[in-house]
Structure 1
């Protein structure tokens, strides 16, 4: 089946999302483990990704956990450094696909307010032909509704969409709709997939 568009997740595909690592560097590994055991940071981010206000959710979480207030606020105040760094080979692959005229979309669980902060640091995030950002859409992966919204907006047959994401549940939801998929476990594997699909040559994917 031909590929009519390639769809990238962003976190851990184009830019790294490892908040535990960020906090381990800034407050130490022991305190990081303690904070993440007491504060559900990932649940907080899910609320933001689903469309809740970035500042309000982070501030509310910080106020509810006084012992970790200052650390939690670092997510708001230093967002571009928390969601960092870029994954260079993935960025290269994105640009190579665009150079060859292959439509590229972003489908990412990302807050409406913090996404522009990441775009300011990583301008390549503006290079997609279409953006599907969960916080802007008010729906979130792996809910079927967000995949259906992508299909309705782009007008392409599901079986002609090639999607990469680092989470098994997000991939399974795409597969259930007939999308072609690649579970991202590193840019080298993604490069191999694009070559195997005939979208890029080996030289282009390096």
Structure 2
């Protein structure tokens, strides 16, 4: 018989609950040029040089940033289309991971999303139904904190009332895994195909 090892599981979103990352490349970026006629290289150069990182922690607005880029490309009317494409193409639920979430919930474990997404995508995640599997959704844009900042983990502890080794982070980035461990949590480095190893980590036999 299996017994849960943890009271709370904190699930990263992209690359864990959502199978949208392959070799560090997000799904929406792969066919952006072909599908939209715009340049993903141009967008990435503009956005991911510090601007998105500010939006991620609530210091900038993603819609405004994409609007500025679209205007610089001469297509200001397509800014909303870019974000819709981004979010929709990156919607690839990992059903195997979600089955593990459901099993944990049935066993009485508290499940939360712990993501570095900004506020608009955090809202989108909930609207797509991921939040239905969770007791809470913690997002960097709402918290104004991002992993691997140790204050990120403390914020979740304060909100949920669970600390230390009663908590495990499941994340696809090693730096976040190491930070969670440094804060006193347990952690699992999730990689594609590691579902069985994850289940073995979450439960004890007997």
> What's the TM-score once normalised by structure 1's chain length?
0.80
Matches of residues 28-177 of structure 1 in structure 2 within 5 Å?
A: 28=34, 34-35=41-42, 38-41=45-48, 43-51=50-58, 52-63=60-71, 65-66=72-73, 74-121=81-128, 123-177=129-183
Aligned to 1:195: 200
In the aligned structure 2, how far is the partner of 1:43 from the partner of 1:62? 17
Contact 1:24 1:32 (C-alpha < 8 Å) held by counterparts:
no
The answer to whether the aligner puts 1:16 opposite 2:19 as a matched pair is: yes
By how many angstroms is 1:197 displaced? Answer: 3.6
By how many angstroms is 1:8 displaced? Answer: 0.3
By how many angstroms is 1:157 displaced? Answer: 2.3
In the aligned structure 2, how far is the partner of 1:126 from the partner of 1:85? 16
Q: 1:126 to 1:79 in 2, by over 3 A?
A: farther
By how many angstroms is 1:86 displaced? Answer: 1.1
Larger fraction in strand? 2
Q: 1:75 to 1:125 in 2, by over 3 A?
A: farther
Contact 1:79 1:114 (C-alpha < 8 Å) held by counterparts:
no
Aligned to 2:190: 184
In the aligned structure 2, how far is the partner of 1:72 from the partner of 1:42? 19
The 3-state SS of whatever aligns with 2:141 is helix
Aligned length: 198
Contact 2:63 2:79 (C-alpha < 8 Å) held by counterparts:
no
> What's the TM-score once normalised by structure 2's chain length?
0.80
The structure 2 residue matched to 1:3, chosen from 3, 6, 29, is 6
In the aligned structure 1, how far is the partner of 2:190 from the partner of 2:89? 20
RMSD: 3.1
